[in-house]
Structure 1
Amino acid sequence: MTSTRHRRGSGSQGGFALVLAIAVFIVSLFLWTEARADTPAPPDAGLVRLSEMEESALLIRTVDAGLYVPAPLVATDIALDIAGPVVRATVTQRFENPSDAWVEGTYVFPLPADAGIDRLRMQVGDRFIEGEIHERRQARRIYEDARANGQRASLLEQERPNMFTTSVANIGPGETIIVQIEYQDVARLADGTFELRVPLAITTRYVPGDAPQFVAESRNAPAAVPDARRITPPLMHPDGEPANALRLPVSITARLQPGFEPGQIASLYHATLVERPGEGDARISLADGPVPANRDFVLTWRPAEEYRPSAALFTQTLNGETYLLAQVLPPATLGDDAPRQPRETVFVIDNSGSMAGASMRQAKQALLSALDRMQPGDRFNVIRFDNTMEQVFPAPVDATRDNLDRARRFVRGLDANGGTEMLPAMQAALVDATPQDTARVRQVVFLTDGAIGNEDALFAVIHDGLGRSRLFPVGIGSAPNTYFMSRAARAGRGTFTHIGDVSEVAGAMDALFAALERPVMTDLDALFPEGALSEIWPAPLPDLYYGEPVLMTARLDNPAGSMRLEGRMGDALWQEDLSLSDARPANGIATLWARNRIRAIEELRYQGASAEAIDAEVLQTALDFHLVSRLTSLVAVDVTPARPADEVLTARDVPLMVPHGWDFDAVMNRNPERQHRAALDPALIDRLAPGSPPGAGDAQARNGLALPATATPREWLILLGALMALSGLAWRMVQRRQSAC
């Protein structure tokens, strides 16, 4: 009997232990599931090994040997519709998610600095979701709410007038989401040739702070550039070319209807096919298929020999208002016989790391060519800058043979390295020791790629210190910061020249000096019949140099009668009357007018206007005309949730390609971790940048603890440990009861 009772007790105790273990397992599993739902992805989420990749993908290296982060792939199609000088561009971006995780992709990309971006559409399957314009912070809230709810959403934001960010939320594993952007632009007319520039690459912006740095070296943006992290996207390492060459492929097509029979049509940096299906019509495409997004696409066209355009007028009627675009080329012969005036020219050359390689060769050759143009009676100086600054002479000196030879030796010995501290060089170049000297024209020729993030500080210095000087930026390289160049030229009452290849140096510098050595057309004005004009931009009209057109937009109350343009070149008066009834109808003129208005309002800050008044005018104009601006963004949201609630969303930046001709190592020597950092989810960011401060979004990081270099399935291990501990306790209780019996 005793033996039987003991066996029943053992069975009863064993059953109790089993029930207890099962109960503990169910409770632990429930608690683990709840905890996992509120816990960020572990540090290894989204990391892959090369052996795990089954298809081509863009991989970012991490600090863990053999582990990579798959980045979203972006393929871009650009369709250009050119009517006269007016351009309507459609940019289609295809975001492909090669990973097995739900992803938010962020892509920083360039657009023309003066373009008006007025449309965003997102395609999900067969459906198109139209973007809506909102005040920037409101658009960001709408996007973030959609992202959190698992809805597909896209957001287009302006970082600079020529730099934009597309964010796309909730791209599923293996999915593709298409985002389409449309903008309005105008081709530039110079010396009888129309030129259209479509930027494809971004030169990495240098951000000055307490110490020279790219912002990627610090989590805290320098006060001078509070949005520094947003304008310094990660870069692909160029190793592995040509495999890297089409990681960001771009296709380009254009339809050209210039309003006259086109003569030569050329692409400066890409091979193209030109078809002429009919009179006055041309179709342009890339000859060798898609190209890498590493240098600007530049298309030029000229009229046939027997025709030279002198004026182009276009109008659009929108919401009962008439908008006018006028592009008028003054005669090139006016004032040609004026005597050459002696000049004082200060040449400034950028020899920072971003200029290394082809850009430095172009800049040195351009400066040597400019020194050869100096004549007896001229004065000059040469200043070079990286994160330091050096002047060849303490002040401008006479253009003697010895002084010019000394300057040439200095220029030939320059190497590119260091940061881009442009501000001290600009201040030094504008110092005028003889402001009352009317015998010489004072000019500053500034050769740079403009790779800076503190543009506003430079514009303020130009406005405050310009005096009688005139500023002539020369953009160097395959993807210069044209926003800085063109606006600096306007603020400096000069003109902007671009050199994209060594073969262009001689021609570009000859054209620049032809402009510098001819009289400037001043006192430009546009006169309309009484009651016809409502607003005109830019206002006032800028001075013009040789070969430049008058380019203006206006809103008219009455589009009847004639417009008179007049100006003065030396002692000669120029006038031209244009009948408004001859203007051709065209779409997009209102958008160009609004964009010019916003640009002009923004520049009032350097003339003492209050920030509040400027913001109010910019915001209202952008909302009225559905334009992306500093204060407005376009956002598109799919109402149907796509990402399951229990799936984690990881953030991925799309690294950009290194601009063509750029010396990657020369810049990265300033910041050896730059190529590894990407604004990914907090659990990954410290894996990408060894030695950096902890990730802002990680609980361990907030406590200042170093993240481990590897990760484990901690939820499973916690559960297993709890089960083992409780099972051991139950087994111990059974053993004690058995011993007692």
Structure 2
Amino acid sequence: WSYTAMRMTLSSTSLPPFLTNCITEDDWDIYSFHINSTVTGRYATTVIKSRVANRMNESKEIEFHVRIPKNAFISKFRMFIDGQVYDGTVKAKEQAQRQYTEAVSRGESAGLVSSVGRTLEEFKTSVTVAAHKKVTFELTYEELMTRTLGKYELLIHARPMQPVQDFKVDVHIHEKAGISFIDVKGGLSTKALANAITKTHADKQAWVHFYPTEDQQKTCDSCGEQGLNGDLVIVYDVNRISSLGDLKRSPGYFVHHFAPSELPRMPKNVVFVIDQSGSMHGKKIQQTRIALIHILNDLAEDDHFGLMTFDDNIFHWKRELVQATEENVKSAKSFARKIQDRGSTDINKAVLEGTKMLNAHHKESSASILILLTDGDPTSGVTNPERIQSNVRKAIADKFPLYCLGFGFDVNFNFLEKMSLQNNGVARRIYEDSDADLQLKGFYEEVANPLLLDVAMTYSGASNLTQTNFSMYYNGSEIVVAGQVTDNNSENFDSQVIAISANKRVRFSKTNASVEFTEVVSDDQIQRVWAYLTVKQLLQKEVVLSGPEKEAVQKEALELSLKYSFVTPLTSMVVTKPPGEETDVLDKPKEGKPQSSREMDLAPPVHPGLGLSVYPGHPRGHPVRYRLHHDPVVGLYVNGELDSNVKGGFNKIGIHFDNSHHVEVGPKLISVRIGQTTTHHSEQVIRRDKEIDVAAGDMRLVIIVHGQTGKELLWPVLRQQPSDNFGEGILGEWEKKKACFALLRPVAKFTVEEV
């Protein structure tokens, strides 16, 4: 499409008549929505149950749409319809994908899970329910809680899509070690909802109940006509009575939580390697400067540090590590304030130089850490990812961890993740939001206080152990090991931990610690902890392997995923429905898959403009194309072709996102172009009878197909967008409660551009 522009300013009162036309469509009623989460021994099992009634005199398609934590594995999904139970079945991804492809080729829908923001994934399915009948949806997911900065956080997202008369969230936590504190945070814990939350804490158990009224669900900060849309975060920690930690054992399995706290902090040697290439322009470089200044302030005086920036060259603050004295920190902050974006990206040279600085500053009884921050692919020097990874691995040689922080979605996260895992570190995505500087600072705080090096955990009378060797243990974190018990005689089951503390080798064992073994936790529960942790670690291991080794690890992870009905990147859940209904397939997305991206080192492509109203004086009958939505931050552009003879919708919708994805939707034909490849079937576009779903990065559009004057027309609506939305345009949301295609959030001004 080519474009000629004419700009004009419109107020929301000058909308053409078709914008507020409603299509009569009856609604369905969610009369009960319960979330029940049980946490036992830091392992959470959460059940979301939604009961929905079709109050109308005709069959209706009813949707179940929830969000769950990214670290969780869905383990069960069922629907109860008219006395029948329909269970989802976990299958190998290839097998489920065939079923999915067959459904799409028949023009049927297929539901997929997709990433939503930083911490959530989304699950959506639908089913047709007969007149005056009910359906109950029940989804179960499981996750092992991760301790960060001295606390566990249980995240529950409430988004029922409408106010619900019977809405309840119940959380029960049982920790044999005892609960040291519990708190409730998140967007749903604001003043308006304070009296809807009750919290009870009694030694080893705690309960949190969240029962908002229908009125509260409409009027709170995270509420609206579609009810609640926000997080409830349960924050807690357990008592630490033993330096060896909390070891639970059942007849078949054990799990060991190791988190000693009363240890001296180790001095650290840290080098910050900061990308200042052209793609870091603007907000990214500003937030990096702010974060670095905060981080430098938090260095302890016995720490040693280095700071360097890079594009296609290296820029040293100092060429060797120096002590974090007040004077040196002040000088480093001055250097950080002057960081400017420029040039291309030579990651290989930068990381090797940081490694060289740390290797030259080896000190006994101190912990060395290398932190890389980048937002792009290597574009200068050595650019082959495998060669860079090989070079870095040889240079580091297991002497210290490498942490890679990938800024935004332009970065090749898979490359960073593999390089981190190869070097005993982790990769973390830093999201391009207003608090990116706090995300950077938060990550640093996690690794700011190393307490132990070279942690080795051994268990007699056990087999099939999860990871038992760790390069570092940080204050406020936790090491978890699980395995199978081969000798049920407790006298023969022994555990010990050997590590390096600030100035000596230390040993933690039953002889110098009081350890409680418990048979209270069921064998099934500890077994699932073992399975969850094993699958997670196998999936990580698979990232760094290749050839037969990679295949063997994948096979083991797949077998466990199928045995325990976990929806993982290797499996999918086939959502069984009544005869005649479309088959849905539930997938788990990978973190490395970009939700939105753009080539920042290149000039942004010219895209169609914002607009709505027909260009005044335009010849009737001539198709006119307008820009409906423009979000340069996430790289999303939505355009509509309008037939000026027919009011009530668009003939064609064009969607451009991720810099290479182009979707063109007509009432009868969908075309998807990814790069140079064109197809009529894609996981990102799901066709229903009168609705087309398009997943555009972390945005979701729904295109309604409706008829007027004997012709089918299209109407696009935004059903999901990030909270920090910088988009301009007139796309509102389709308000199901009123079943009306209307502009719900008009802007006072927007640009009209004719194509």
With the length of structure 2 as denominator, give the TM-score of the two structures. 0.56
Give the Å deviation of 1:130: 0.4
Would the alpha carbon gap of residues 123 and 382 (structure 1) be closer, same or farther in structure 2, given more than 3 Å must change? farther
Which of 108, 111, 122 aligns to 2:69? It is: 111
Q: Does 1:550 align with 2:508?
A: no
Counting only pairs closer than 5 Å after superposition, residues 330-369 of structure 1 correspond to structure 2 as: 330=260, 332-336=261-265, 340=267, 343-348=269-274, 363-369=288-294
Which of 135, 143, 154 aligns to 2:92? It is: 135
Which of 438, 462, 479 aligns to 2:362? It is: 438
Would the alpha carbon gap of residues 586 and 540 (structure 1) be closer, same or farther in structure 2, given more than 3 Å must change? same
Instruction: State whether residues 462 and 491 of structure 1, in contact with CA within 8 Å, keep that contact through their aligned partners in structure 2.
Output: no
Which of 517, 523, 526 aligns to 2:458? It is: 526
Q: Which residue does the alignment assign to 1:187?
A: 145
Q: Which residue does the alignment assign to 1:52?
A: 21
Instruction: State whether residues 535 and 557 of structure 2, in contact with CA within 8 Å, keep that contact through their aligned partners in structure 1.
Output: yes
Q: Which residue does the alignment assign to 1:255?
A: 171
SS of equivalent residue, structure 1 residue 638: coil
Which of 542, 561, 566 aligns to 1:627? It is: 566
Per-residue displacement from partner, 1:138-181 (whole Å, max 9, x unpaired)? 11233454566798876669999988674647769999987543
SS of equivalent residue, structure 1 residue 601: helix
Q: Does 1:596 align with 2:533?
A: yes
Distance in 2 (CA, whole Å) between partners of 1:119 and 1:180 is 8
Higher strand share: 2
Would the alpha carbon gap of residues 147 and 126 (structure 1) be closer, same or farther in structure 2, given more than 3 Å must change? farther
Distance in 1 (CA, whole Å) between partners of 2:290 and 2:418 is 25
Per-residue displacement from partner, 1:290-328 (whole Å, max 9, x unpaired)? 848998754312458x989973344567xxxx2222212
SS of equivalent residue, structure 1 residue 611: helix
Q: Does 1:327 align with 2:327?
A: no
Per-residue displacement from partner, 1:644-681 (whole Å, max 9, x unpaired)? xxxxxxxxxxxx9999xxx9543439999429999978
Would the alpha carbon gap of residues 488 and 184 (structure 1) be closer, same or farther in structure 2, given more than 3 Å must change? farther
Instruction: State whether residues 182 and 201 of structure 2, in contact with CA within 8 Å, keep that contact through their aligned partners in structure 1.
Output: no
Q: Does 1:275 align with 2:198?
A: yes
Give the Å deviation of 1:384: 6.5
Would the alpha carbon gap of residues 54 and 675 (structure 1) be closer, same or farther in structure 2, given more than 3 Å must change? farther
Per-residue displacement from partner, 1:107-139 (whole Å, max 9, x unpaired)? 8966333x3332122455664310112111211
Distance in 1 (CA, whole Å) between partners of 2:279 and 2:636 is 8
Deviates further, 184-193 or 612-621: 184-193
Distance in 1 (CA, whole Å) between partners of 2:187 and 2:23 is 35
Would the alpha carbon gap of residues 301 and 103 (structure 1) be closer, same or farther in structure 2, given more than 3 Å must change? same
Q: Which residue does the alignment assign to 2:687?
A: none
Higher helix share: 1
Would the alpha carbon gap of residues 682 and 551 (structure 1) be closer, same or farther in structure 2, given more than 3 Å must change? same
Amino acid at match of 2:467: P
Q: Which has the higher contact order (CA 8 A, sep 6+)?
A: 1
Would the alpha carbon gap of residues 436 and 625 (structure 1) be closer, same or farther in structure 2, given more than 3 Å must change? same
Distance in 2 (CA, whole Å) between partners of 1:103 and 1:352 is 49
Per-residue displacement from partner, 1:200-232 (whole Å, max 9, x unpaired)? 9xxxxxxxxxxxxxxxxxxxxxxxxxxxxxxxx
Distance in 2 (CA, whole Å) between partners of 1:521 and 1:611 is 28
Amino acid at match of 2:356: D
SS of equivalent residue, structure 1 residue 612: helix
Give the Å deviation of 1:598: 2.5
With the length of structure 1 as denominator, give the TM-score of the two structures. 0.57
Instruction: State whether residues 324 and 589 of structure 1, in contact with CA within 8 Å, keep that contact through their aligned partners in structure 2.
Output: yes
Amino acid at match of 1:527: Y
Would the alpha carbon gap of residues 521 and 624 (structure 1) be closer, same or farther in structure 2, given more than 3 Å must change? same
Distance in 2 (CA, whole Å) between partners of 1:584 and 1:539 is 22
Per-residue displacement from partner, 1:421-447 (whole Å, max 9, x unpaired)? 896697457542563642375422345
Q: Which residue does the alignment assign to 2:495?
A: 564
Superposed CA RMSD in Å reads 6.2
Amino acid at match of 2:456: L
Deviates further, 421-430 or 612-621: 421-430
Instruction: State whether residues 541 and 553 of structure 2, in contact with CA within 8 Å, keep that contact through their aligned partners in structure 1.
Output: yes
Counting only pairs closer than 5 Å after superposition, residues 592-741 of structure 1 correspond to structure 2 as: 592-605=529-542, 606=544, 610-642=549-581, 665-668=632-635, 673-674=656-657, 683=666, 696-697=679-680
Q: Which residue does the alignment assign to 1:90?
A: 47
Per-residue displacement from partner, 1:388-410 (whole Å, max 9, x unpaired)? 88745595565688876665355
Q: Which residue does the alignment assign to 1:370?
A: 295
Distance in 1 (CA, whole Å) between partners of 2:43 and 2:61 is 38
Taking only the aligned residue pairs, the percentage that are identical comes to 13
Instruction: State whether residues 445 and 474 of structure 1, in contact with CA within 8 Å, keep that contact through their aligned partners in structure 2.
Output: yes
Amino acid at match of 1:327: H
Distance in 2 (CA, whole Å) between partners of 1:199 and 1:448 is 31
Instruction: State whether residues 104 and 167 of structure 1, in contact with CA within 8 Å, keep that contact through their aligned partners in structure 2.
Output: no
Would the alpha carbon gap of residues 87 and 589 (structure 1) be closer, same or farther in structure 2, given more than 3 Å must change? same
Give the Å deviation of 1:265: 1.2
Would the alpha carbon gap of residues 145 and 553 (structure 1) be closer, same or farther in structure 2, given more than 3 Å must change? same
Q: Which residue does the alignment assign to 2:184?
A: 266
SS of equivalent residue, structure 1 residue 408: helix
Deviates further, 459-468 or 271-280: 459-468
Give the Å deviation of 1:535: 0.9
Would the alpha carbon gap of residues 523 and 482 (structure 1) be closer, same or farther in structure 2, given more than 3 Å must change? same
Would the alpha carbon gap of residues 177 and 692 (structure 1) be closer, same or farther in structure 2, given more than 3 Å must change? farther
Distance in 2 (CA, whole Å) between partners of 1:360 and 1:95 is 48
Distance in 2 (CA, whole Å) between partners of 1:391 and 1:635 is 53
Per-residue displacement from partner, 1:344-378 (whole Å, max 9, x unpaired)? 41243689989986x87765433112223275883
SS of equivalent residue, structure 2 residue 555: helix
Instruction: State whether residues 91 and 181 of structure 1, in contact with CA within 8 Å, keep that contact through their aligned partners in structure 2.
Output: yes
Would the alpha carbon gap of residues 344 and 153 (structure 1) be closer, same or farther in structure 2, given more than 3 Å must change? closer
Larger Rg belongs to: 1
Would the alpha carbon gap of residues 356 and 297 (structure 1) be closer, same or farther in structure 2, given more than 3 Å must change? farther
Aligned length: 559
Q: Which residue does the alignment assign to 1:300?
A: 235
Distance in 1 (CA, whole Å) between partners of 2:349 and 2:147 is 31
Give the Å deviation of 1:464: 5.9
Instruction: State whether residues 538 and 596 of structure 1, in contact with CA within 8 Å, keep that contact through their aligned partners in structure 2.
Output: no
Q: Does 1:576 align with 2:509?
A: yes
Instruction: State whether residues 129 and 135 of structure 2, in contact with CA within 8 Å, keep that contact through their aligned partners in structure 1.
Output: no
Runs of 5+ consecutive residues of structure 1 not aligned to the other structure: 1-47, 58-72, 201-244, 644-655, 699-710, 718-741
Amino acid at match of 1:432: K
Would the alpha carbon gap of residues 122 and 552 (structure 1) be closer, same or farther in structure 2, given more than 3 Å must change? same
Per-residue displacement from partner, 1:552-589 (whole Å, max 9, x unpaired)? 11122333314323122241413132354466337543
Distance in 2 (CA, whole Å) between partners of 1:172 and 1:389 is 63
Amino acid at match of 1:438: H
Distance in 2 (CA, whole Å) between partners of 1:409 and 1:262 is 42
Would the alpha carbon gap of residues 278 and 367 (structure 1) be closer, same or farther in structure 2, given more than 3 Å must change? closer
Instruction: State whether residues 48 and 138 of structure 2, in contact with CA within 8 Å, keep that contact through their aligned partners in structure 1.
Output: yes
Instruction: State whether residues 322 and 328 of structure 2, in contact with CA within 8 Å, keep that contact through their aligned partners in structure 1.
Output: yes
